[in-house]
């Protein structure tokens, strides 16, 4: 995989992950300030699972890239 493709894929992970992190951060901030919104909290659970799945895919991709570069 070329360097340009690696940069493109990493940018895609950032573009997909940034809104998830933002939503989780805002939800956590509201929970810590005791502003509990039930719907937001319930929606945060699938968002968290989606984010963890994205991290798992990213870590596998990085391991694959590392194995290709350093066999």
Phi, psi angle pair for 37, to nearest 5°: -115, 110
d(CA 70, CA 42): 43
Confidence of residue 1 (pLDDT cuts 50, 70, 90): low
Phi, psi of 56 (to 5 degrees): -65, -45
What is the pTM (predicted TM-score) of this model?
0.79
The helices-and-strands tally (H runs, E runs) of the chain is: 2, 0
**Residue positions counted in the chain:** 71
pLDDT digits (tens, 9 = 90+) for 34-64: 998 889 999 999 999 999 999 998 888 888 8
Per-residue model confidence (pLDDT) at position 67 = 86
Any idea where the domains of the chain sit in the sequence? Answer: 3-69
| Cα-based torsion angle of the residue sequence 6, 9, 12, 14 in order, rounded to the nearest 10 degrees | -50
């Amino acid at each position: 995989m070329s360097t340009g493709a690696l940069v493109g894929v990493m940018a895609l992970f950032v573009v997909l992950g940034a809104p998830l992190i933002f939503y989780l951060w805002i939800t956590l901030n509201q929970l810590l300030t005791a502003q509990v919104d039930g719907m937001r909290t319930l929606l945060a659970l699938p968002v968290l699972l989606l984010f963890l799945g994205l991290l798992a895919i990213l870590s596998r991709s990085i391991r694959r890239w590392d194995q290709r570069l350093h066999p």
